[in-house]
Structure 1
Amino acid sequence: MITVKAPGKLYIAGEYAVVESGYPAIIVALNQFVTATISPSETIGSIVSEQYQENSIVWRRQGDAMVFDNRDNPFHYILAAINLTESYAHELGRELGVYHLGINSELDSADGKKYGLGSSAAVTVATVKALCQFYHLPMDKNKLFKLAAIAHLSVQGNGSLGDIAASVYGGWIAYHSFDRQWLHLQQAQSSLSDLLTMPWPDLKIELLTPPAALRLMIGWTGSPASTSHLVDKVALVKAKQRSEYQTFLKASKACLKRMITGFHHSDLHVIQTELRTNRQLLQKLGGFSHVTIETPLLQRMIQLAESAGAAAKTSGAGGGDCGIVLIDQTIDPRPLLTAWAHDGIEQLNLNVHTVQDTVLPNS
């Protein structure tokens, strides 16, 4: 049996702007994982998730096609990852097999609530990773990112794919999104093998080392949000509000550049200052695009953190889910946690997932 893991993520800064080609964001991988297990089967295969047991899929092989018995299923990202990875395996002359694929996610709460930790990206990465081992495909982190990004994009249709990068590389990363229009055109004329080896325009992934004094805290508001729907809403207004949107993009890029420099210099003050600047930029974006990025409870979470001497903002698309706090290790966080609990804000007691155990076979 093959077992692999892929971590969840949280956006620290650069949201919304990062969906534009070449624009940066800072993202962190967390020590909560999606685990994929795969074992060969003689005849009937299955896809089973501990979270969706009533919707497990049974399938068989008809030629090279996967034929499903179930009509409706929640496994779109898993299926896209299988389809793409098997296309790559087929290109490399592998004979496609039948197998049992098990998926177990720690990225949602025990009662199924979504925390906004990038479960769809981690599921995609874990599935691709498991199948690459199953078929003995040559794979390194760059190829894993590209394969998982293509699969994820085929389902979601928008987004920056930064959550895929965090799930592949681990740790703190600075991510510059690639040109998705270029990828769309290349897919029509290039083999997957070629796509995985060629450079992708504007793509840049850099591992960052946080200052020793930095403590990351995560507050969850108990209200899930749909990233793709919020990104769609902003996309609808960017043509109408072109000048405001371009101003936002330019300011976001400058802010993230300064923030990344803060990481290079281990300067917590600069990082916190730019986190606050990024929050203000997102508030302006929410204003002219009429998208609720900061819900009242997220505003309260941020206000309490700032009162405690920390810097805080929404994480990801906002509209619910999590807020993040960057606080000096010397500040006692307990009064802040007490204030959060009083207002119904739950601390997610998660740590950063570092990169030691993300080495891939055949890399």
Structure 2
Amino acid sequence: MKAPGKLYIAGEYAVVEKGTPSIIVALNQFITVNIEKSNDYGSIVSKQYSENSIYWKRIDNKIIFDNRDNPFHYILAAINIVETYAQSISKKLVTYHLKVDSELDNSDGKKYGLGSSAAVTVATVKALCQLYDINVSKDELFKLSAIAHLDVQGNGSLGDIAASVYGGWIAYEAFDREWLKQMRSQMSIKDLINHKWPFLRIEPLTPPKNLKLLIGWTGSPASTSQLVDKVSSEKSNKEAEYQSFIQDSKACIKRMISGFYNESLETIQKEIIVNRKLLHKLCNITNVIIETPSLKKLCDIAIKNGGAAKSSGAGGGDCGIAIVNSDNNDIQKILNEWENNQIKQLNLDIHKNQF
């Protein structure tokens, strides 16, 4: 079972607040999870991290690991959530070998910032649902994966989960995480994934035909959860300014979404520039570096050559994006200047919409 990686186009950081919109795109690079039944012991193996493969046994329907220290927390959380759900609908638990293959990291294991933890969570949930013969809708797949991912990361909007589940370009608004936290102790997993989640909104977007997305990687991996934690801890010191940022971001993304509906590349590009400025404002509020010098260079090169550009996701390194007109003769100029400044183009396509 495969799940695609993602990139945030706009609305980062603000999207962690419930009901605040963002725009995300799924990409045609995947994490693949394969499961094969086993009669004795189980295993979790990844080609990328073979030295960290782990083995487990099942004792009284619980998974017991031989390794105390392992890097597969998201996979383990996905296993726990799906198997809890499987038992609630009277499925018999089995033992299996689970293999992971990732296209979302480069050859030496560095992350590109394409949402590998979300993709591996979604792919694992899909594979386990297939193993246990559980038919799940996209909405149910999102909810199971979101619960598992949140159990590990503890923060974030879960927009990357939505991108991996639904594919294509999407507008995403986060659900109320405090509500989910309370409901976890009051409702079964079965009831929870059938329940309407407050503020959650996911809808497909169709980009204008002349929109071209360029993706540049700065070579500096960043930790989303740590950056989100830093912003969260600093925002309380300047609550009024932070709330102003949230409202401005909400208005910006709504205008950008209207650009998709109206097939207006000009509107989308204009709001990309606005969103970049809003992230600069957030930097000043929280003293968290989102746009590194390399990301600034990436953006400045694209803007100088007729595009609109900004950091993508948590920033602090990783990727930046440029939205350009596909008829623009300066696209190659942008790519050449990126290369001259040690910015690697990730030549990725959009993973088709699966709504």
TM-score in same-fold range (> 0.5): yes
Unpaired stretches in structure 1, ≥5 consecutive residues: none
2:342 paired with 1:344: yes
- The alignment covers a number of residue pairs equal to 354
Amino acid at match of 1:142: D
* Structure 1 equivalent of residue 201 of structure 2: 204
Q: For 1:240-282, what per-residue CA distance to the aligned partner results, in whole angstroms no more than 9, with x for missing partners?
A: 1011000000000000000001001110000000010000000
- In the TM superposition, residue 81 of structure 1 has moved relative to its aligned partner by 0.3
For residues 135-172 of structure 1, give each alpha carbon's deviation from its aligned partner in whole angstroms, at most 9, with x where no partner exists. Answer: 01130100000000000000000000000000000000
Deviations 1:30-52 (A, max 9, x none): 00000000111111111101111
Q: CA deviation at 1:238?
A: 1.5
Q: For residue 288 of structure 1, what is the aligned residue in structure 2?
A: 285
Q: Could you tell me which residue of structure 2 aligns to residue 178 of structure 1?
A: 175
Q: Separation in 2 of the partners of 1:10 and 1:135?
A: 31
Within the alignment, does 1:254 sit opposite 2:212 as a pair? no
Equivalent position of 1:160 in the other structure: 157
What is the one-letter code of the residue matched to 1:342? N
| Correspondence for 1:149 among 146, 150, 156 | 146
Cα distance between partner residues in 2 of 1:198 and 1:138? 17
The corresponding residue for 2:110 is: 113
Tell me the CA shift for residue 231 of structure 1. 0.6
User: 1:288 Cα deviation (Å)?
Assistant: 1.5
Q: Aligned residue for 2:46?
A: 49
2:235–2:285: 8 Å Cα contact kept in structure 1? no
Task: State the distance in 2 between where 1:281 and 1:290 align.
Answer: 14
Alignment match of 1:95 (pick from 92, 96, 100): 92
CA–CA distance in structure 2, aligned partners of residues 340 and 124 of structure 1: 32
2-structure distance, mates of 1:38, 1:51: 17
Distance 1:209 1:338 in 2: 29
| 2:240 matched residue in structure 1 | 243
TM-score, normalising length: structure 2:
0.99
One-letter amino acid matched to 1:123: V
Amino acid at match of 2:317: G
Q: Comparing 54-63 with 164-173, which one deviates more in the overlay?
A: 54-63
The alignment partner of 2:221 has SS state of coil
Within a 5 Å distance, the mapping from 1:215-226 to structure 2 comes to 215-226=212-223
Alignment match, 2:352: 354
Q: Secondary structure at the match of 2:314?
A: coil
Q: SS in structure 2 opposite 1:59?
A: strand
Which residues of 2 match residues 325-340 of structure 1 at below 5 A?
325-332=322-329, 333-340=331-338
Q: Deviations over 1:62-86 (max 9, x none)?
A: 0110011111110000000001000
Q: Could you list the per-position Cα deviations for residues 79-127 of structure 1 after superposition, in whole angstroms to 9, with x for gaps in the alignment?
A: 0000100000011111100001000000000111110000000000000
1:62 aligned onto 2:50: no
- The percent identity for this pair of structures is 60
Contact 2:142 2:162 in 1 (8 A): yes
Q: Deviations over 1:178-212 (max 9, x none)?
A: 00000011111001111011100000000000000
Q: Distance in 1 between matches of 2:183 and 2:312?
A: 32
Which secondary structure state, in structure 2, belongs to the residue aligned with residue 317 of structure 1?
coil
Could you tell me how far apart the structure 2 residues matched to 1:269 and 1:241 are? 33
TM-score normalised over the length of structure 1: 0.97
2:332 and 2:173 map into 1 onto residues whose CA distance is 35
Aligned to 2:6: 9
